[in-house]
Amino acid sequence: MLSEQTIATIKSTVPVLEVHGTTITKRFYQMMFEAHPELLNIFNHANQKQGRQQGALANAVYAAAQHIDRLEEILPVVRQIAHKHRSLGIKPEHYPIVGKYLLAAIKDVLGDAATDEIIAAWAEAYGVIANAFIDVEAEMYKEAEQQQGGWSDFKSFLVQKKVKESDQITSFYLVPQDGQVLPAFEPGQYIGLQMRIPGEHNTHIRQYSLSDAPGQPHYRISVKREDAVGSRPSGKVSVYLHEQVQAGDVLQVSAPAGDFTLDRTDRRPVVLISGGVGLTPMVSMLASLVESAPDRPITFVHAAVNGDNHALRNEVEKLVATHAQAAVRWCYSRPTEQDRLAQAFHKEGRLDLAWLQSVIPERNAQYYFCGPEGFMQSVYALLKEWNIPASDIHYEFFGPARAWEAEAQ
């Protein structure tokens, strides 16, 4: 428990963090990586270069300061981040390093305004928050290792086969190199790949949703090739997977993680909404639902640019055909002439509320969505406009948390 004095001191820094938060976190990462370059093997370099990680950490620090007197309110966020940390291999010994340079950055940026009292208060608060993460993650590591077929950290998997699903998306079927049984996972969860790319000094870790149903003799991920667009560089890991990784290669994989999972106790209808490669966890959820919940209505909505970019379409349609109460709707933003001739889509353009209301038969449902950031922000806004309760809205976003996500919690 934090003292009343510490809580008051932390809360007094909220306005300062609102103004200087990102400057502090930029300086934090700069100082930490200079002192501990080995941590570049864990952090996403692209998010660092684009300033996304710095902004996300600033938002997290700001939220912690706001809720410092009621930290239990941010425990769901702690668990969500802890899943990602366990998948990346974050360990207890990393937390003192982060704390040291976060405090140093606060002092460096704020100068004399960061009094000894403020630094001491943040040190105490950081200790409490760090211990919460360490405890939650320790339990997650234990669960991952002790389940049947489970393991800790990363394990060698063979690429059993590689299947092109669309112009941009390719699936990789992965099996344990040691031949052991695969641990179960919940539809919507992801695995981490630790990649050693020739010519790269550091390893790169990326997290990909499992795109097949649980209970298969393999894990499947379906990866979009991220090519350079404007000032945004190409994705090193996705391009390497598409161009270089072949059947028979060995990849390092962390055990399934994530809290974006189906609520199996709720028997209301399910609405699955995805954009682009965001359909991967939705396909896993759909495959699980058609087998385990034959009486539960399902609406599967997917938005793609056009048919050339639309992955796993035939698989989804086959799954829907086996479920009497399932329906699928396709939305193409820029359909090709072939798409038009084949009447391959139900809506042209972007998702809007009127159309969603017309294809979702029952508003009182559980809503799950995933996709690019702009798409997710749009879907979230549409659901809020429709007055869908926050408790019925579930989503997965890969990358650092953004302001709209903080609002969504």
Which residue's entry shows tokens 């760090």? 130
* 206 belongs to an annotated ligand binding site: yes
278 known member of a binding site: yes
Tokens 């879907």 correspond to 379
Residue 190 annotated as binding site: yes
Radius of gyration of the chain (CA): 22
What's the number of CA atoms in the CB half-sphere (13 Å) around residue 358?
Answer: 8
- Separation of CA 57 from chain center: 15
Cα dihedral angle (259, 391, 297, 272), rounded to 10 degrees?
Answer: -50
Instruction: Say if residue 395 carries a ligand binding annotation.
Output: no
Q: Which amino acid is at 80?
A: Q
209 marked as part of a ligand binding site? yes
- Give the integer Cα–Cα distance in Å for 81 and 45: 18
Confirm whether residue 220 is marked as ligand binding: no
* H or E stretch at 24: helix 14-35
CB–CB of 164/116 below 8 Å?
Answer: no
In our burial notation (b when 16+ CB lie closer than 10 A, e otherwise), range 282-298 reads bbbbbbbbbeebeebbb
At residue 139's C-alpha, the angle toward residues 142 and 398, to 5°, is: 100
Cross-strand bridge partners of residue 214: none
Q: Which residues contact 142 (CB under 8 A, 6 or more apart)?
A: none
Helices (H), 265-325: 279-292, 313-321
Judging by DSSP bridges, how do beta strands 250-254 and 154-164 pair with one another? antiparallel
Residue spans of beta strands (DSSP E) within 98-182 = 154-164, 169-176
137 is catalytic: yes
* Catalytic-labelled residue, pool 95, 141, 240, 367: 95
Residue 323, marked binder: no
Tell me the CA end-to-end span of the chain in Å, nearest whole number. Answer: 24
Give the CA-trace dihedral at 146, 150, 180, 42, to 10 degrees. Answer: -150
Closest CA to 88 of 41, 126, 129: 41
Which is the catalytic residue, given 29, 137, 367, 396? 137
Was 279 annotated as part of a binding site?
A: yes
For residues 305 and 331, the answer to whether their CB atoms sit within 8 Å is no
- 9 has binding-site annotation: no
Residue 316 annotated as lining a ligand binding site: no
Binding residue ranges for NADP(+)? 276-281
Q: Catalytic positions, please?
A: 95, 137
List binding-site positions. 85, 190, 206-209, 276-281, 397-400
Q: Which residues are annotated as a binding site for FAD?
A: 190, 206-209, 397-400
**Sequence ranges of the binding site for heme b:** 85
